[in-house]
């Protein structure tokens, strides 16, 4: 079966660093995506990993370990506008090009 | 604006009625996807088109659901004999295809929120 796990909720304060973990078990693997979704809005692309290691993009970084079926999204210098749901998604070979999403992690940033 | 657009943004219908949603992808994207999202869940894949060909359908897509992309541009998703369990946000996404590693980054539209009474 296909399974993607991430924490349901996380809280943090402005200026802090937060790490959102994602573990996956899928029948194939052809890339892992992180999306941000504000309440009532569409998901927007944040990052993509297909090889092991860290991808850095401004305040956001994403890490992948394919052997462990594990990824994390690291958000630095948190801002109030970072309060949103963060979705981990895997592109599985057997699912073609469709993405399999986790349930999302709701991040609340307070001042 | 050249993003993905969806119409309508909201639809309220009575159980048993048929509804149809439209998605206009980013113009140069030849891949189009439909997903369904309920509260507190991530999007669930429904179906995928490359140009006008429907290449994948999820087991979630019962025979009451049908999707088309007749000219390889816009797409429609129809739900016949709606049920209360169909209430959800229906998201459309599009992506280019090609040789780049990131070629399948999917761009999502704002969604159509369906409420079945």
Q: What is the rounded distance in angstroms from the CA atom of residue B105 to the CA atom of residue B49?
A: 15
Tens of pLDDT along A34-87?
Answer: 999 999 899 999 999 999 999 998 999 999 999 999 999 999 999 999 999 999
Q: Which residues on A lie below 8 Å from B101 (Cβ)? A: 48, 50
Q: Measured between CB atoms, which of B42, B104, B111 is closest to A87?
A: B42
Q: pLDDT category, B98, cuts 50, 70, 90?
A: low
In 10 A of CB B63, how many CB atoms? Answer: 6
Closest CA relative to residue A7, chosen from A110, A81, A104, A92: A104
pLDDT of residue A22 exceeding 90: yes
Strand-pairing partners, residue A105, are A86
Q: Are B94 and B32 in contact (CB under 8 A)?
A: yes
% of chain B beyond a pLDDT of 70: 93
Q: What is the rounded distance in angstroms from the CA atom of residue A63 to the CA atom of residue A74?
A: 8
Whether residues B107 and A45 touch (CB distance < 8 A) is answered with: yes
% of chain A beyond a pLDDT of 90: 81
Size of interface A-B (CB pairs under 8 A): 59
Whether residues A43 and B108 touch (CB distance < 8 A) is answered with: yes
Q: Which residues on A lie below 8 Å from B108 (Cβ)? A: 35, 42-44
């Amino acid at each position: 079966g296909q399974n993607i796990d991430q924490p349901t909720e996380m809280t943090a304060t402005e200026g802090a660093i937060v790490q959102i973990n994602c573990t996956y078990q899928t029948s194939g693997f052809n890339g892992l995506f992180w999306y941000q979704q504000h309440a009532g809005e569409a998901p927007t692309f944040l990052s993509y990993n297909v090889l092991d290691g860290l991808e850095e993009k401004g305040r956001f970084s994403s890490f992948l370990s394919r052997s462990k079926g594990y990824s994390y999204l690291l958000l630095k210098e948190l801002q109030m506008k970072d309060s949103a749901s963060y979705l981990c998604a895997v592109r599985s070979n057997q699912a073609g090009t469709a993405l399999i999403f986790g349930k999302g992690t709701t991040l609340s940033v307070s001042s | 604006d050249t993003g993905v657009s969806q119409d309508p943004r909201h639809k309220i219908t009575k159980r048993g009625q048929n509804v149809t949603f439209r998605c206009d992808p980013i113009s140069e994207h030849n891949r189009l996807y439909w997903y369904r999202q309920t509260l507190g869940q991530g999007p669930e894949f429904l179906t995928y088109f490359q140009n006008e060909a429907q290449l994948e359908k999820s087991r979630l897509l019962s025979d009451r659901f049908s999707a088309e992309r007749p000219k390889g541009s816009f797409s429609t998703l129809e739900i016949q004999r709606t049920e209360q369990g169909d209430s959800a946000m229906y998201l459309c996404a599009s992506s280019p295809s090609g040789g780049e590693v990131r070629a399948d980054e999917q761009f999502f539209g704002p969604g159509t929120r369906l409420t079945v009474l």
